[in-house]
């Protein structure tokens, strides 16, 4: 039965990612918004829905390790695993000139949560500050995105209602697919005696990042590299500002010492690495994608 759930989840992720990319790219063209803006907001936040559901549910159930570990581990896997696989499929353009504001918000979120984890708890007030950071990012992203419209395309546009339906259906399928995969994997890990923190950092983090993986890989395959990259940056921002902010506002989140002492170094390192790639190189070739995947393998060894 578990294998059937796995197949259902995989099918939901693949179909959901395809619908989401098609619908979101059409919305960007129809409303004269850049694909990067759509990737940072609609796609990036939408594919983070599983992390939000898992984190709030875990915190309310008295499992803070899964709540924090899922968000932090997702940020690590987004950069090292997902961008690594996407770059192997198609070299990615990561423009520091276009992305400097968004990369700045990602770094701000990263170092803000690192500071908050230092005293062993993320309080309600700190959760409110994180949500204010999310509001600031959204305001800046929309103002900047509307000033950089997408070049006109000769492809015919489908009706707006159809595009929104495709985007919504894609998000729903991504959430359902991730739910089936994460639940079955978590049950098996607990049966083997794996700690909550490690479950959150690995199984839950990768499982809830499967929507980002499906969406970014499909976007890279279709040549929509701005959606692919924007999806990852937007998701990383939302994981910290939105997911941990909202979760902490609902209930303060106790944090194990390992998060600030070990895992945040990897979160910060991957965020800084992506920023340096954007500023110095302006893209992610296949060899760099392979290097990111190697770094993720090393992280898994350290996390265990």
Q: Could you report the average pLDDT of every consecutive run of 10 residues in the chain (304 residues)?
A: 64 66 69 67 66 72 76 89 88 75 93 94 94 90 63 53 79 71 63 64 66 75 76 88 90 88 93 88 86 90 76
What's the pLDDT at 42? 66
Count of domains observed in the chain: 1
Q: Which domain holds residue 220?
A: 34-148+192-303
On whether residue 87 sits in a domain, the answer given is yes
* DSSP E strands, 110-151: 121-122
On whether residue 129 sits in a domain, the answer given is yes
On whether residue 199 sits in a domain, the answer given is yes
On whether residue 173 sits in a domain, the answer given is no
On whether residue 63 sits in a domain, the answer given is yes
Indicate the SS3 state at residue 280.
helix
Rounded CA separation 130/274 (Å): 22
What's the pLDDT at 33? 67
CATH of residue 268: 1.20.1420.30
How far, in whole angstroms, is CA 295 from its chain's centroid? 18
Indicate the SS3 state at residue 195.
coil
Indicate the SS3 state at residue 148.
coil
On whether residue 292 sits in a domain, the answer given is yes
What's the pLDDT at 135? 92
**Using an 8 Å Cβ cutoff, are 67 and 117 in contact?**
no
On whether residue 255 sits in a domain, the answer given is yes
Q: What does the pLDDT look like over 119-157, one tens digit per residue?
A: 999 999 999 999 999 999 888 877 776 555 444 444 455
- This prediction's pTM: 0.76
What's the pLDDT at 234? 85
What's the pLDDT at 113? 96
On whether residue 29 sits in a domain, the answer given is no
What's the pLDDT at 197? 59
């Amino acid at each position: 039965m578990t294998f059937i759930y796995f197949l259902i989840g995989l099918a939901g992720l693949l179909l959901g990612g395809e619908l989401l990319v098609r619908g979101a790219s059409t919305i960007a063209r129809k409303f004269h918004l850049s694909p990067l803006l759509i990737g940072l907001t609609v796609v990036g936040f939408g594919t983070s829905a599983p992390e939000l559901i898992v984190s709030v549910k875990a915190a309310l159930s008295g499992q803070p390790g899964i709540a924090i570990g899922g968000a932090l581990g997702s940020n690590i896997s987004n950069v090292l695993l997902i961008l690594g696989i996407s770059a192997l499929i198609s070299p990615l353009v990561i423009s520091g000139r276009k992305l400097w504001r968004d990369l700045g918000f990602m770094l701000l979120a990263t170092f803000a949560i690192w500071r908050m984890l230092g005293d062993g708890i993320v309080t309600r007030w700190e959760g409110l500050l994180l949500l204010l950071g999310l509001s600031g990012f959204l305001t800046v992203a929309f103002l900047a995105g509307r000033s950089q419209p997408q070049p006109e395309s000769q492809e015919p546009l489908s009706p707006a209602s159809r595009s929104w339906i495709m985007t919504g259906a894609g998000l729903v399928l991504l959430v359902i697919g991730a739910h089936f995969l994460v639940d079955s994997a978590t049950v098996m890990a607990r049966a083997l005696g794996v700690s909550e923190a490690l479950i959150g950092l690995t199984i839950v983090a990768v499982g809830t990042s499967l929507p980002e993986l499906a969406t970014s890989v499909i976007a890279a395959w279709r040549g929509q590299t701005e959606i692919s990259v924007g999806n990852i940056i937007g998701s990383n921002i939302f994981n910290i500002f939105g997911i941990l902010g909202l979760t902490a506002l609902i209930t303060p989140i106790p944090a194990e010492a390992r998060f600030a002492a070990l895992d945040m170094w990897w979160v910060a390192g991957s965020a800084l690495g992506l920023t340096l790639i954007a500023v110095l190189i302006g893209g992610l070739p296949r060899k760099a994608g392979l290097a990111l995947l190697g770094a993720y393998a090393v992280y898994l060894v350290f996390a265990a």
